[in-house]
Chain A
């Protein structure tokens, strides 16, 4: 698992790669909650290179979403591979997360 954080047009972009599971999700959670503690208004998660996500990864993003809702921040996703999207859909989280096809779409929405 690799985590890269960059700035783009006022948003923080978190690019993840590899598997998100019980071993790697604590680091994702730590980085996400650090940005949320700073009340970053827009966080965009790039999942293009994520091969696998388990329930702990999903829980991490749900926690992040709830944290951002408290200050009206926005948590967005793009580049979700079919395998990962299928888990979001199964969890019924596709209804509550903002999911986009590209970073440009996520930035301009």
Chain B
């Protein structure tokens, strides 16, 4: 079984609620754990916010492609843009003990996903892959939903 949904939304923050709704619906329709769905909703929202803010510099007239896929093994979301290349080495959140505005989004993405990776083969723009494993794989209990 492999259910896949592909959407493209303008890079305007008003469409973030739509992206969240699609993410949640994808999880609910596939009967995923509520905690997994909520965490992934946050991760996808934060990742798309980063695209709008950093890759597109706030330009609302660009496009964000989002592919959501559920298999028996994983909930996977791929987010693509054609904006500025992310400087992966410089992406880090604030220390959680450091109380200041900003820098929380990266933590919300990382806590939701077992895999957070940029496709280095993509020459223009960014392709971010977020994966949450749903079942024990080859004895790795840490990957249990």
A31 at the B interface (CB under 8 A): no
Chain A proximity of B12: nearest CB distance (Å):
8
A54 touching B13 in the complex, CB below 8 Å, given contacts A62-B99, A96-B99: no
Interface size counted on chain B using CB atoms at 8 A? 26
Pairwise interchain contact A23-B104, C-beta atoms closer than 8 A: no
Minimum CB–CB distance from A27 to chain B (whole Å) comes to: 11
| Cα separation A23 to B16 with both chains bound (whole Å) | 8
Interface contact A22-B49, CB-CB below 8 Å? yes
Q: Which residue of B lies closest to A92 (CB)?
A: B96
Contact at A52–B20, with CB atoms within 8 Å?
A: yes
Residues A25-65 near B (CB distance < 8 A): 52, 54-56, 58-60, 62-63
Chain A interface helix/strand/loop/mixed: helix
**Interface class of chain B by DSSP:** helix
Q: How many angstroms from the CA of A54 to the CA of B49 in the assembled complex?
A: 10
Given contacts A22-B49, A22-B52, A90-B107, contact A59 B101 (CB under 8 A): yes
Tally of A-B Cβ pairs under 8 angstroms: 60
Specify which of B13, B52, B108 is in contact with A55 (CB 8 Å cutoff): B108
Closest partner residue, chain A, to B20 (CB atom): A52
Chain B minimum-CB-distance residue to A59: B101
Given contacts A54-B45, A92-B97, A96-B99, contact A21 B13 (CB under 8 A): yes
Task: Check if A3 is an interface residue, CB within 8 A of chain B.
Answer: no
B17 at the interface (CB under 8 A from A): yes
Asked whether A22 and B99 contact (CB < 8 A) given A54-B42, A54-B45, the answer is: no
Pairs A-B, 10 closest by C-beta atoms:
A23-B13, A59-B101, A55-B104, A55-B105, A22-B13, A22-B49, A62-B101, A63-B101, A92-B96, A23-B14
